Every structure is written in structure tokens, then in C-alpha cells.
Amino acid sequence: MTYESLQSLHPIRINERRISERIRCLAKFGMNREGGIDRSLGSKADIQAREWLKNLWKTELQAAVAVDPAANLWAERKGKEKIKPIVLGSHHDAVANGGKYDGAVGVLLATEVVQSLKEANYKLRHPIKVVSFSAEEPNPYNISTLGSRLITGVLDSKQVGEATHVYTHEKLSETLKRLGGDVGNVANHLLTSDDVGAFLECHIEQGRHLTDHGLSLAVVSSITGIYREEITIDGEANHAGTTMMENRHDALLAGAELSLAVEQAVIGQGRSDVVGTVGHFEIFPNSANIIPGQAHLILEMRTSNDQVFKELRAQLADTCTEIENKRQIIIKRKTILDQKAVPMDPLVRTALQQSIKASGDFYLDLPSMAGHDSVHMVPIAKTGMLFVPSIEGKSHCPEEETRIEDIVKAGNVLIRTVIALDKELD
């Protein structure tokens, strides 16, 4: 592919009014009084969104609509050849009180791409599919990226079926059944590299890189590695009045030093693609007049750079030893997640980059600092992601927003990219 060949290609464009209207429509399902979206797996809003999407695909795309055993939704239009399809999509669920764009933009742009190609009467060699994955977000079953992980065989389907909704206690196997899935049948319908040629996901950035650079598009280079540790600090609970300062073994203060040291170590890397967070922090007995005897932390670090991870983990080990010696407390560490960074496919990345250049626009190359369904498509398909800006970086909240101009640009880039991949791929 060359810049010139793309530049001269089919001037197929998506329909701005239509995509704008569809984002508004999908947002109705589960919108609460504050304007946030409540649309978790199996909720009334989820069911409404699913019916609306399936109906849209049948009537507007004239596509074959299917629900797989993980209750992921699929639409398919045949290609000229019987080869592995190009798939576009994202998810339609939302975190509690979430925004209108996370997931929705990816699903609706995928729909728009297929419809625009159909309307332009452009015949692809490849079949083209749209997917909307089940339960990508943190949800009441405590299993995120459920649909993509279940259908690609990452999760144990039997174990998943036994999970229950934290409030209603409905078993996940029952929920999926209500949605047209069948957890007992997942093993017979796993998605493999035979089923998908390429996967493209457009998503909101959820960070500030694009907004800070005043740009509309980013091509994702990789999806961040995520490392989590459960840390227990054993100090000594004691009387907060009668225990002199020098005789204390305060677990809260040890945890405070550790949390601040993590922040310093991460900032010390001087990079924008590494973050570290202590998001969970509890102390015991948590009483005003008792010196904290134990602290429980969950520490998370994210980066796509293995060397950075290595350095941070070495610094963390040193810090823990220092604090243990200084405060005569014991720090117990347990790795609970060590998800490696996942690089995006070079061919798809290039296709995205050149499609953007062909439209005369600029882009950032960015690692994704959030996880996505794409992570789980990488092992089976040539996978790429396109980011659109989140205004002020706001996400997972009612204020989440992406300008329609940026969404339209992304849609047109996706059309060009699909056409380019259709030529390139077998």
C-alpha cells in the first residue's frame, strides 16, 4: 500500500447525521437521571440495546444476524470470496453511571462502515462482520471482557457459568441463556484463527493524549501490560494513647510510604506510558484510638515496556525492604495479575496509519493504557485499534464525550482501512 494509492481510492464516506442519531438512540437504553448510562449484562437496558442492534443490522445492513454461545452479537454480509472475514466491532455494555461513547462508538461505526460500503455498492472480497461483545466492562459478575475471553477460550466456561450477580444472585449461565447464549456450548463454538482474518476496533481513548495534542485520531501501538499485587502489611495494633511513637509498628504509615514510593518510582521513569496506582487500601482494626495493626493494599502498574516493568518491580522490592527494616513490620506480596503487553498487528497498524495520512490528517501512535476486547482477539486475528479523543480525558462518567467530527473522521478511516485490508489479506 502507498499513500498515493490510498489517496485515489473510493471516496466512500460515512453518514454523519445517521451515526450521530444512532449514538443518541443507543444511549437511551439505560440512561439515568444524571444522564449516565446503566447498561450492565442482562439488565433491561442490555436486552433493549441487543434487540435494537439486531434489528438495525437486519433491516439496515440486510445482514445475517447471530448470537454466539457467549451471547456476543454478530452481523455478517458475504464477500465475493469464501475467505476469512474482516471483523469490526466493540461492546455495547456500560459501567454503572457510564458514558454514551465507550464501546458504543466502536459498534455503531462498524455498523456504519458496513452500511456505507453497501450503499456505495462496494463489493469486498472478504466477508465482513460486525460484533458487539458481551460484558466488556467491570460488571456485577466481576468478570470483565467476558464475551471476548469466553468465545476465544481464555476463560473456563464451566467456572464462568457458576459466577453469580452480586445483587440478584442470578447465575451467569442463566443470564447468558436469557440473552441467547449457552455457556455449555462454548467449547464447541470457540472462535479461532480460522474464523477471523482481521479485527478492527475503534474506541474512545479515555485519556488526555489526543485532547492535549488537539488531534482527532490515534493508532494504537500496543495494549498495556497490567501487573497487580495484593500486599498485606503486618504491623502491631496497640493503644493509640499509651504507645509512644518509637514503640509503634504502624501498618497504615508503612502502607502510606509504600503508596507514595510507587508514585515516585513511576514519575521517576519520566514517561507518559507508565502509570502506577494503589486503588485499594484498607486498614485494621480501623478504629480512631488504635494504632493500625494491618493494612491491605492492591497495587497496579501499567506499561507496555518490559524494561520499565522490570525496573519498577526491582525498586518496589527495595522499597519494601527499607520500610520493613525502618518500621519493623512485615510486608507480604502476592502477584494477582501479570498480563503482558499485547502489540497490535503491524500490517493493520500500517493500514490505519496510511488511511489517516491519505485523508490528509495527523495521528498519534499510542499504547492503550486500558484493556479492551482487542487484547483477546490478538491471538487469533490480525488486530488493530483506532482511538478517538475523550474530551478532557473524561470516561466512565456521564460527562464522557467525543466530538461528532472526530467520530466521522474515524469512520472514514475505517472504510479506507477495510478496503486496503480487503486487497492485502488472503
Residues at the contact surface with a second copy, assessed by CB under 8 A: 138, 205-209, 224, 226, 228, 238-245, 247, 250, 252-253, 255-257, 259-260, 263, 266-267, 272, 275-283, 286-292, 298, 300, 302, 369-371, 390, 393, 395-396
Shortest reach from residue 322's CB to a second copy, in Å:
14
Query: Any idea what DSSP says for residue 373?
Result: T
Say how far apart CA 164 and CA 170 lie, in whole Å. 5
Shortest reach from residue 120's CB to a second copy, in Å:
35
Set of cell numbers at residue 222: 500496543
Say how far apart CA 320 and CA 327 lie, in whole Å. 11
Shortest reach from residue 332's CB to a second copy, in Å:
17
Closest to a second copy by CB, 144 vs 164, is: 144
Shortest reach from residue 149's CB to a second copy, in Å:
16
Say how far apart CA 18 and CA 40 lie, in whole Å. 25
Asked if 224 contacts 337 with a C-beta cutoff of 8 angstroms, the reply is no
Element (H, E) at 350: helix 346-358
Closest to a second copy by CB, 125 vs 213, is: 213
Element (H, E) at 284: strand 274-284
Closest to a second copy by CB, 14 vs 252, is: 252
Shortest reach from residue 271's CB to a second copy, in Å:
9
Per DSSP, which regions of 28-68 are E strands? Answer: 64-67
Shortest reach from residue 237's CB to a second copy, in Å:
9
Say how far apart CA 222 and CA 209 lie, in whole Å. 15
Q: Tell me the HSE value of 57 on the side-chain side, using a 13 A CA sphere.
A: 27
Shortest reach from residue 93's CB to a second copy, in Å:
16
Closest to a second copy by CB, 20 vs 238, is: 238
Closest to a second copy by CB, 292 vs 411, is: 292
Closest to a second copy by CB, 56 vs 320, is: 320
Say how far apart CA 388 and CA 167 lie, in whole Å. 34
Closest to a second copy by CB, 67 vs 298, is: 298
Set of cell numbers at residue 360: 490528509
Asked if 47 contacts 29 with a C-beta cutoff of 8 angstroms, the reply is no
Strand partners, 386: 202, 219
